[in-house]
A and B are shown apart, each in its own frame.
Chain A
Amino acid sequence: MTITGIAAIGAGLAAIGAGVGIGRIGGSAMEAMARQPEMHGKIQTSALILAAFVEAVALFGVVVAFLQG
């Protein structure tokens, strides 16, 4: 296996991690919004911010894969 292939697998693993993370944030946010519709705006804002944090980690992986690949 070449280094490019390993880099691609690494990017895929990073994507799996971010997928799980953002999925959990999104699911919990939906649940919370359904329970307390009046908190809709605040929950959405914090969900977006948290998603951005999780996504950043995945993007670190993608950037490393780009540099290697």
Chain B
Amino acid sequence: MTLNTFRNVLFSALFMVISTMGFANEDTENPENEKFDAKEMILHHVKDAHEFHIMDINDKPVSIPLPIILYTDNGLVTFMSSEFHHDDSGQHIVEKNGMKFVKLHEKIYQLDGDAEAVAFDEEHHPTNASKPYDLSITRNVFMMWVSVFVLLLIFVTAARSYRKSEDNMPKGVAGFIEPLVVFVRDEIAKPMIGEHRYKKYMPYLLTIFFFIWINNIFGLIPIFNGANVSGNIAFTFTLALFTFIITTLVGNKNYWKHIFWMPGVPVPMKIFLMPIEIIGMFVKPISLMIRLFANITAGHVIILALMSLIFVFKSVAIAPVSIAFSLFITVIEIIVTAIQAYIFTILSALYFGMATEEEHH
């Protein structure tokens, strides 16, 4: 290892330690007299939220308020989440259009009729409040827009640089993007779908590959508070649904024959295989959904759990071990961001390839 590489490695490690310290800094939000609850802190980070909480300064939360949009029986209601004054226990009541709203565990409840406060049953569920349809711009939606904006910026710049250059050589951002696009084409689309049919699917494959990747990366940046977009089951569900719809729509005669009347096996076996194949049709996108969700969520939980060890043991002596381990996991997570985007894309391509395969003779 030359001195130069060594210095690069050292600097990268230093930056990542700083980023883990960013996580640690957020944890000091708990007052010292209160017992530190690692589980609650982790769940708070992994869950979606109605405000963009950045950090705490002297126990005062610093956050960006996001709009809350509710569809109630009396029509649409909108207000900023700052009107709740960071309350998440259902104490602070916001009155709009004669309706009372409270925020409880990041869910908005509408109080019934003339109720003055939320009443709870034994399991801590509110008894006199109902949930209106919540169409709010939450933290995840906001982060998704940010990543869409960044992706547009990168790709529009790249596209422009191609138009400008005379010999079609990639320059600037395009030089970084082109190998990735070629990778998706040559390593994912062509071998999985086939030389002749892959072109139709390239836009979709490229979109999910870069969208998942950039959302995974944003999830690891502490200043965005680990906005857990790709670790949100609704997000992965939607992406898996797209794959399912495309697979079902492009499926040819051969594909459906393999599901309903498997060729080449005796009749009792055909009948036996039919329900299994039908279940398999749905299990494929479901496993796509759960794989991405669980991988990213598990990564976040591990990093945060290692960081909270310091606060659980209340000792500085744990800090070197804890930081070293969370640095290690962060490095692994950086690889996982790319691998999960790759796996999701290649499996989608595989399903498209299976759906459009021609009959063998």
Contact = CB atoms under 8 A, between A and B. Distances in A.
Contacts of B347: 49, 52
Contacts of B343: 48-49, 52
A52 B287 CA distance: 10
A60 B294 CA distance: 8
Report the interface size class on chain A: 10 to 19
Report the interface size class on chain B: 10 to 19
Interface in B305-361: 339, 342-343, 346-347, 350
B290 interface: yes
B287 A45 contact: no
B346 A49 contact: yes
B230 to A, nearest CB: 14
Contacts of A42: 191
Contacts of A63: 290, 293-294
Nearest to B187: A45
A50 B191 CA distance: 16
A56 B290 contact: yes
Contacts of A62: 294, 298
A59 interface: yes
B291 A45 contact: no
B346 A59 contact: no
B295 interface: yes
A61 to B, nearest CB: 10
Contact of A55 (B191, B291, B342, B350): B291
7 contacts: A41-B187, A56-B290, A56-B291, A59-B291, A59-B298, A62-B298, A63-B294
Which 6 A-B pairs have CB atoms at the shortest separation, nearest pair first?
A59-B294, A52-B343, A56-B287, A56-B291, A63-B294, A62-B294
Interface of B: 187, 191, 287, 290-291, 293-295, 298, 339, 342-343, 346-347, 350
Given A48-B342, A63-B293, 17 more contacts: A41-B187, A45-B191, A48-B343, A49-B343, A52-B291, A52-B343, A55-B291, A56-B287, A56-B290, A56-B291, A59-B290, A59-B291, A59-B298, A60-B290, A62-B294, A62-B298, A63-B294
